[in-house]
Amino acid sequence: MPPTQSRLTRTPRPHREAADAVPFPVRVAGAWAWRIVVVAAVLYGLGQVLAYFSELTTALFVALLLVALLVPFVDFLDRHGWPRVVATLVSLLLGIALIVGLFTLVVTQIASGFDDLAASASQGITQLQTWLSNGPLGLSSGQINDYITQARSALQQNSQSLVNGAVAVGGTAATVLTGSFLVLFFTIFLTWDGRRVWSWLVRLLPAPAEAPFDAAMHRGWVTLTSYVRATIIVAAVDAVGIGLGAFILGIPLAVPLAVLVFLGAFVPIVGAVVTGAVAVLVGLVAVGPVKALLMLGVVLLVQQLESHVLQPFLLGKAVSVHPLAVFVAIAAGATLAGIPGVLFAVPIIAVANTVVVYLVRGDAALPKGLVQHFHDDDEGEGEEATSDAERRDADEVAARQAREEGEPPAPGRLDARAGDDGAR
């Protein structure tokens, strides 16, 4: 009969760590959780820093949008023999002249059409009161007068708030002036020598990260330029369509309304709704409800043209962001940063989407239009280099000297430089 094992002679159990008892899915969830917390903390800290330097960061973001708009024209002049500095200054002067011209036109139109608007508004209010009394609402004159009295009382009660708001706007005039100079400063230097600035920034990263990060941000930059160009075209079509409709219907201040629609188009979804409502409201007050309904039809027609024709054709090939993501980004931007957040939300998520998708899955996962734009850009740079042998030789000499001295390289594609170094 074999001896029985006591507790003292029993084979000891193998040593196990406490982590071995945790199921694998729970460990995976924990690993994801602490990484997400770290990323969120870094993003929160970065947001606090940007908020602390809000005047500087807002000016920088505005300048980046302007640079994305101006760089293609500057590059065109540069390829045709213009000095880079001269091309940059000419582009800026043309842009400033266009802005001043639009501002002058709007002010002139408002000054000349104000009397007509006041007279039309008086007639429109009378027609509106008649429609409210005889229309489907069937309001009595006493009810209408009560509503008008309540609105007047509310305006008088909040007059102090309006005055304080006006004072606050006046107090920010110096801030706006300072921000304008910062935008001008950033725009000039980033348009003129942005590639060298970017090369210096990328060289601050670890060497293995330089090439992929540069390639990803290059694609992000193509996304930004495509977004800005498409937004300009869409805004111009919206402004012409709604402004022409207002002019045909006899609505006063058609040109200022067109400019307002143009500016509002830079805020996707929300801007079109708000500026269209302003155009309908002016029509309602100035020319009555019938033409206001016709103006509403014009606004809806133009917005349908924008949503189903222009945006898919112009933006769909280069920017792949779902409308729900656009709406959420605008809402989050408005909550976190107010008007600047609304303006920059969509470009930021468009660029971030392109950069992350490229880093994770490469060019195969990007929109074909974006990849085609990227390759066309590379071919354009190659044609420029081969058509100007002297500039190419000078750039190569400068790049070689910079590498020997340990300085940032001359303007150029870092991923291509990394590939050349690997081949050597």
Please state the pTM of the whole predicted model: 0.67
Q: What is the mean pLDDT of residues 185-205?
A: 88
CA atoms within 13 A on the CB side of 222: 24
Name the band, by pLDDT with cuts 50, 70 and 90, for residue 350. Answer: confident
Asked which of 203-217, 248-262, 361-375, 398-412 is least confident by mean pLDDT, the reply is 398-412
Residue 365 has pLDDT above 80, yes or no: no
Is-contact 317 325, C-beta < 8 A?
no
CA 382 and chain centroid, separation: 30
Per-residue confidence (pLDDT) for residue 244, from 0 to 100: 92
Q: Exposed/middle/buried for 12, CB within 10 Å: 0-12, 13-18, 19+? A: exposed
| Per-residue buried b or exposed e for 205-231, using 16+ beta carbons within 10 Å of the residue's own CB | eeeeebbbbbbbbbbbbbbbbbbbbbb
Which pLDDT value is given to residue 122? 60
CA–CA dist 244, 348 (Å, integer): 33
Query: What's the mean pLDDT when you consider all of the chain?
Result: 74
Q: What percent of the chain has pLDDT over 70?
A: 64
Asked if 230 and 73 touch (Cβ cutoff 8 Å), the reply is no
Residue 303's pLDDT is 83
- Summarize pLDDT for 98-156 with one digit per residue, the tens: 888 877 877 777 777 666 666 666 666 666 666 666 666 666 666 666 666 766 666 55
Q: What is the pLDDT of residues 275-293, one digit of tens each?
A: 888 888 888 877 777 888 8
Residue 313 clears pLDDT 60, i.e. is over it: yes
Taking CA atoms, 421 is separated from 205, 224, 260, 400, 416, in Å, by 17, 29, 52, 12, 9
* Res 411: pLDDT: 42
Tell how far CA 34 is from the center of its chain. 31
- What average pLDDT does this structure show over 331-340? 80
Residue 33's pLDDT is what? Answer: 92
Residue 365, both tokens: 């996962």
